[in-house]
Structure 1
Amino acid sequence: MPRRAAQNWLRTRDPGLASVRRAGRVALVACTGFYAARYGLGNDVAAIYALFGAIATGGMSFVPGTPRERARTLLAVLPLAAALVTLGTLLGAHSWTAALGMFGVGFLVSFAGVGAPRLGGLAGGLQAFYILACFPPYAPATLGARLAGLATGVVLMAAAEMWLLPDTPPGRYADRLAGAAALAAGTLRTLAEGRSPPSGSPERLLTASRELRLSRVPEDERPTSASARHRALCQGAAYMTHLLAQTRQLTQDARDAPDVRDPATARLLRASATACHDAALGLSGRGPAPSDAPYTAAAADFEAHRVRPPAWGTDSTAVVRGGALALDIAHTGTCLVTAVRIALGAPVPPDPTPPAERPGPFWYAGRPTLALYACRLRSHLTPRSVYFQNAVRIALALAAARLIVGALDLAHGLWALLATITVMGTSATGTRTALRPAFTGTLVGAAVVAVMLYTVGAHVAVYAFVLPFLYLLAFSAGPVLGMGWGQAFSTIAAAAAFAQLGPARPGLAAVRFTDVVIGGLTGALAGLLAWPRGGTGELRRACSRLLDQSTRAVTETIDTLTAGRTAGDALARTRLAWVIAGESYAQYAVERGAPDRTRPAERDWMAVLLAGNQVTTIGQSLLDHCAPGALAVWPLGAAHLRDAALRIRLSALPLTYEPRSRKPHPPPVEPRAPDTPTDRTVIADVFASSRGRPADPLPYYAVDAALWLTSLEGMVAAIRRTPDEPRTPVPG
């Protein structure tokens, strides 16, 4: 019974025993290469590099993907690892040359991961190769042995990824998106058939929307690379989230007014359900890439049908509102289908965005991955980029640690720089959080090392016997028990390895602890002085800017449509702010690590991005279809639209400043009064005033504008709440 309880406890801490299997692979490969070179070939240099080759690529790195993909990645970076070892060997003659090289390597390796998650996951290991080679002894003549040992460790690690305790292939983000599309398809089909949706449909739609957020997705499943496929998956998730929200609104309306039906709306919903179903099949690999031709035709037919003024009755407002929501779902679904086709590698039509408004939403379609990667690198070459900030911080910390170690002539100074890598985060808070367990674990491990070296002495066979078990504990204890435990066992394992290469005295424990303290403090100081807020601080700033530009664009668009004012560049500025905020959110999701439901985000950042996306897409559509002042023919409805836009602007103002100061500010407007005009009020006013008017689509654009503002008001309300607060639908 205790054994079963221990297994259950371990599986709770390490689902699927992924960390234990990974630790087993690293321990077996590292020790196999080390023993073969040390005792088989009698070459200590090759033994150390074979050991570190496996540890750096298996223990210090995180490479997402399937076992086969990880193996290919390790083999692909082997030439780069060899170049770093060569560079470190040549620059290790002097401390200042080694430090300069350390700064360049630290920055370039860290920054290169901006659009390549696999390369970013290998950053720590690649830096370790240069670190190991740039420390004394300066021996260029041993470069051949170093490279041979390195190749042995990396190749063995690549083979182990496929054949030795291989991990279960990670989930696919495309399957999450496919599941959400299938759920939307089923709900839309139910609504089209006039049947009442199941009682839990709104909650299921909301849950599916939340599960698309990157903060809820495991690290090895997140589509964060610069490739067109990953960009399309992220953009498709944004469209899917809005489609789910509008579908949820339709289900709530159907529950409130179950007898209201419109055949034209039902046909459009049926086409939308078919398109979502086809998208789900394509994303899951059970069908071809979806086509938007039937979808587009159904939307065009509906728009042609709805320009005829309705015979106004008691249910007319509900019919018009339901049709507008269905048309919004159709247009959103068209964008979703385009994103899915890009993700699946299917051809898409040329970008219809006018040249003055480019780049369009799918500007990346058809571009090579290397070109998109270069584009992302260029866009992040700015101090406002979290990737740039993090790369500079790490480079400064590593270079400073290398200079300090060289100036003090510390023995085993390698551990100082490895400690710097260990404690460096993307924020000062993350660095401080890692500092204490790193010091505590090293101190405990050093104490055990002192006792071990004193009692075991020169009995090398004992160290050789316990080394695999120590490395197994070193790489499994951290994820299961905490960073301090991993650091303690790593200290003991390193001492056991080096004790097999030459005489080791108990004083080695004190040297190791001193090195870790110096490296840890250097990393903490760099993290405190250089952009201490990291990804979270930059995300607050980017989302603050996006909210500000978005609400300006809303008021500018509504003023243009209802008062005839000239449209400015607010929508263009919102597009740029949306791109920057999206990149910051991707980095923030990486910084938070694996999903943790007990550690919710301080703000619903995804809702900010969704609001920005809706402002740009629907706002531009309204401006494209309506001349300036076109909606002024309905004075009361136009006034309601301007009031709603202003209310959104004022409600979002505290959020645009709160992320910068972190201080709560009272809202500048009173809570929404129960008698505040809603989109239903605008619909009733527009069509009551349009009797006898020739058939044209203009009244429906007023309806679309009203629903757009209602949707944005709900998003702002969601942003104002903390993510763990319950969501309630916005009235109207």
Structure 2
Amino acid sequence: MAGVVKAPSGPQAPRASRAAVPAGYRRAGRRAVRVTAAAGGGFYLFLYAFDSVTAATYALFAAVALGGLSRIPGTGRQRAAVMLRAAPWSWVLITLGTFLAVRTWSAVAGMLVVGFALAFLAVCGPRPAGAAPGLQLLYILPCFPPYDPGSLGERLGGAAVGLGLLVLAEAFLFPERPEPSYGERVAAAARLAGHWARVLGAPPYALTAQDARAAHSAAQGLRPSRVPEPARPAGPGLRDRALAHSGLAARAVLSRLTRLGPPPAGSHGPGVLDAVARVTDETALRLTGEGTEVPGRTHEELARIRTALVTAPHSGTGPDSAPAQRRRASLLEIVDATLALSMAATLAVHGRTAGAVASPGRFWYAGRRAPELWWHRLAGNVGRRSVHFQNAVRISLALAAARLIAGVDTLPHGFWALLATLTLTRTTVAETRVTVRQALTGTLVGALVAAGLLIAAGSDTTVYAVILPFVMLGAFTLGPVKGVGWTQALFTVVVSMVFAQLAHSTWQLAEFRLLEVLAGSAIGAVFGLLAWPRGAHDEVRRSGAELVREAAEIVVATVAAVVAGGLREPRATAPGHRSLQHGLILAESAFAQFQREPDGAGRGVGVLRTGASSTDPDWQATLMMAHHTLWGSDRLLVPPPPPAGPDGPTVEPPLGREAAAEVQRLGDRVAGRMLLVSAAVDPGGDTPEAPVPLRDPTVAAGLEADPPDASPAYYVAVSWLDGLLSDLERITGTGKDGAAGPA
């Protein structure tokens, strides 16, 4: 009948009801059920079946620590695997806390050392960083009365049961579909690059605007900020490093392909691009588990093509005309990035077994063992310029101070003061101030509710036992979605219901909770104010400025070597790379923290006046510029392997006088503009009053007026330098593509 709308029936109704619940509540609700089941199961088992208050306490807080306080990314089974690996460390921490707690000075010293070590775990990737707060709580818990080393067995047994129940709950309750892995994302980008290479290798030799947008979207999808935390290759191990390297190389291939124009008559092109397409296809198969060759025949063929592009003779006429040489330089960049993508993917899949065939410069990590790579990551972040080091110092000092105050003043529940310090201290003083205000408001409301329940129920523990699971479900569902105020309010009720079952309690328990949260948050606020109060705000600027300065030094050194005829001695990598690679470690960690801080993208972190418009820097483009500097310098200075055959490689002739002068002029300009951008980014630098164009306004692109003695090395050098100018335009937002270029 017209005008009658039928209500959904059958299986459609549940789908509609699920869609009505926001995804954040669904995720938090599933997690709340897991944590409540594990924590409540262990707590009730030990308290009411075995009459063990100590084991019950540790079973509950072990599950709450790693299930509620920790934020381990990934699916339930991925989190369960992390928790299993963390279990032995949790027993070590409980043991240390138990024996060090008997003296205030030893407890404070232990808090300082353990607090720093656990906070510094953030350098090892998102999963160790996510587990660190929970491990901190497991060390804090035994640091307070009763000081009873004789109960260590009960403590460890309770924690083992709580963690075991949590692992089972994470693995089997509400299983989740995993996010696409980073390798799968790189494989999709590699397939797309292969498709575009074939398109560019046949008439009309051009991508449509829609194709360019698709390539841009695929490249942007590999940026760490666009990848969910579980899929980010952020660890210090070989496979994670190789995956991250393959993502950078895939983005470089896509970027260079979208800038490749139609070939001049008789120039290099279709054969090279066909080989690029076959290598990217093979790489995609390897990343998805369908290819096994190491490194692959097509990779070796493309390596020979690269050598031919570098060593081909140059006559200056016909196929070797200036337009053809420019295209050859562009193809060399594409081939070089494709080879890097292929080798990085091989290392990511096959690990150290493929290390023997990797370049020792670009893939310096290929032959290193895991402990050495972990040490390299840790050592690279030790120093006041590292935001991970700053955060670890801040939280360890705050926790040690809180423990000292709790020990000297004998706070009745000093555990709560340290827990407040741990959970409410943020990386910026502004964020800490907002968080503390919300937390204190929530704690006050929760304390009033808890006091009312304690007065009404009195000593009837049955009431608290019935209420506790429902309050826990609410706390772990609403807290992550509604914010810190709700978390503190509901958690105050949770701990009141827990301690009311462990010992006779009055309404003053809620009062103690409020006072000690106030003390802990005040300590966190003080140390947030004293120790790097702006978080990554200034550090991301300093590290970005340092990156651009070091890139300028490499440009100067590389251009000088090219003008002089190349490196005097063979090297695994170009000079100056070690300092720039170390700078990348610091800049990437600062940028990652900057993204997590509130309003990190729009706080006005340094306005640049280096072009037609003023804008905030594009930090991702800054990191990519550093990588392009490294890769281009190696391309110019590190000789390729000799081709197969009895004749050996053709020696590249040195630049002629006019070509050398032109490369020197453009190199000086690029280095000068890098220093200009660096000064504008640096919080202590001097920004010029008037805008200065990045490119020479008298020369349209810096490539039109080629000297008569130009050689292939000239075109490779100029192509690299012009690409760096494009990177600077992305950083400052002054190019035609703005700051959102695909690289």
Report the TM-score when normalising by structure 2: 0.87
Query: Following TM superposition, by how much is the alpha carbon of 1:509 offset from its aligned partner in structure 2, in angstroms?
Result: 1.9
**SS across alignment from 1:344:** helix
Query: Following TM superposition, by how much is the alpha carbon of 1:305 offset from its aligned partner in structure 2, in angstroms?
Result: 5.2
User: Contact 1:351–1:360 at 8 Å: present in 2 too?
Assistant: no
Q: Does 1:299 align with 2:306?
A: yes
Correspondence for 1:150? 159
Query: Following TM superposition, by how much is the alpha carbon of 1:673 offset from its aligned partner in structure 2, in angstroms?
Result: 5.6
User: Contact 2:358–2:366 at 8 Å: present in 1 too?
Assistant: no
**Residue of 632, 652, 659 corresponding to 2:674:** 652
User: Contact 1:476–1:486 at 8 Å: present in 2 too?
Assistant: no
Q: Does 1:708 align with 2:720?
A: yes
Correspondence for 1:348? 354
Q: Distance in 1 between matches of 2:145 and 2:586?
A: 40
Correspondence for 1:622? 636
Q: Distance in 1 between matches of 2:519 and 2:144?
A: 16
Q: 1:148 to 1:599 in 2, by over 3 A?
A: farther
**SS across alignment from 1:681:** coil
Q: 1:215 to 1:98 in 2, by over 3 A?
A: same
Correspondence for 2:463? 462
Q: Does 1:46 align with 2:55?
A: yes
Correspondence for 1:506? 507
Q: Distance in 2 between matches of 1:163 and 1:523?
A: 37
Q: Does 1:165 align with 2:187?
A: no
Query: Following TM superposition, by how much is the alpha carbon of 1:247 offset from its aligned partner in structure 2, in angstroms?
Result: 0.7
User: Contact 2:120–2:388 at 8 Å: present in 1 too?
Assistant: yes
Bigger mean CA offset, 564-573 vs 287-296 = 564-573
Q: Distance in 1 between matches of 2:506 and 2:568?
A: 77
Q: 1:194 to 1:455 in 2, by over 3 A?
A: same
Q: 1:567 to 1:669 in 2, by over 3 A?
A: farther
Aligned length: 703
Letter in 2 for 1:641: V
Residues 505-528 of structure 1, C-alpha deviations (whole Å, 9 max, x = no match): 222222111111111121122122
Correspondence for 1:694? none
What residue ranges of structure 1 are gaps of 5+ in the alignment? 354-358, 691-697
Query: Following TM superposition, by how much is the alpha carbon of 1:629 offset from its aligned partner in structure 2, in angstroms?
Result: 13
Correspondence for 1:573? 576
Q: Distance in 1 between matches of 2:434 and 2:76?
A: 31
Compute the RMSD of aligned alpha carbons: 3.4
User: Contact 2:694–2:729 at 8 Å: present in 1 too?
Assistant: no
Correspondence for 1:324? 329
User: Contact 1:546–1:578 at 8 Å: present in 2 too?
Assistant: no
Correspondence for 2:236? 226
Correspondence for 1:611? 625
Q: Distance in 2 between matches of 1:552 and 1:112?
A: 33
How do residues 169-568 of structure 1 correspond to structure 2 at under 5 angstroms? 169-195=178-204, 196-250=206-260, 253-254=261-262, 260=264, 262=266, 264-289=268-293, 291=296, 292-303=299-310, 307-311=314-318, 316-345=321-350, 347-348=353-354, 350=356, 360-562=361-563
Residues 157-212 of structure 1, C-alpha deviations (whole Å, 9 max, x = no match): 11111111233223311111111111111111111122443331222222222221
Q: 1:664 to 1:508 in 2, by over 3 A?
A: farther
Residues 275-331 of structure 1, C-alpha deviations (whole Å, 9 max, x = no match): 111111211223335521121133334455563544279xx5443322321121111
Q: Distance in 2 between matches of 1:475 and 1:705?
A: 58
**SS across alignment from 1:437:** helix
User: Contact 1:650–1:669 at 8 Å: present in 2 too?
Assistant: no
Q: Distance in 2 between matches of 1:44 and 1:729?
A: 60
Residues 536-572 of structure 1, C-alpha deviations (whole Å, 9 max, x = no match): 4333222211100111221333244347799999963
Q: 1:660 to 1:428 in 2, by over 3 A?
A: farther
**SS across alignment from 2:22:** helix
Q: 1:348 to 1:501 in 2, by over 3 A?
A: closer
Query: Following TM superposition, by how much is the alpha carbon of 1:634 offset from its aligned partner in structure 2, in angstroms?
Result: 4.8
Q: Distance in 1 between matches of 2:741 and 2:222?
A: 20
Correspondence for 1:678? 701
Q: 1:384 to 1:639 in 2, by over 3 A?
A: same
**SS across alignment from 2:343:** helix
Q: 1:590 to 1:155 in 2, by over 3 A?
A: farther
Q: Give the % identical residues.
A: 35
Q: Distance in 2 between matches of 1:134 and 1:325?
A: 63
Q: Distance in 2 between matches of 1:702 and 1:29?
A: 67
Correspondence for 1:23? 32
Query: Following TM superposition, by how much is the alpha carbon of 1:131 offset from its aligned partner in structure 2, in angstroms?
Result: 0.8
Correspondence for 1:356? none
Residues 5-24 of structure 1, C-alpha deviations (whole Å, 9 max, x = no match): 9854642545xx32221121
User: Contact 1:275–1:295 at 8 Å: present in 2 too?
Assistant: yes
Q: 1:592 to 1:435 in 2, by over 3 A?
A: farther
**SS across alignment from 1:680:** coil
Q: Distance in 1 between matches of 2:273 and 2:200?
A: 7
Letter in 1 for 2:35: V
How do residues 119-130 of structure 1 correspond to structure 2 at under 5 angstroms? 119-130=128-139
Residues 218-244 of structure 1, C-alpha deviations (whole Å, 9 max, x = no match): 112111111100011111222222212
User: Contact 2:387–2:535 at 8 Å: present in 1 too?
Assistant: yes
Q: Distance in 2 between matches of 1:439 and 1:52?
A: 22
User: Contact 1:30–1:153 at 8 Å: present in 2 too?
Assistant: yes
Bigger mean CA offset, 464-473 vs 374-383 = 374-383
Residues 435-493 of structure 1, C-alpha deviations (whole Å, 9 max, x = no match): 23222222222222222222333332222222122112212223212222122111111
Q: 1:150 to 1:671 in 2, by over 3 A?
A: closer
User: Contact 2:28–2:480 at 8 Å: present in 1 too?
Assistant: yes
**SS across alignment from 1:499:** helix
How do residues 594-609 of structure 1 correspond to structure 2 at under 5 angstroms? 603-609=617-623
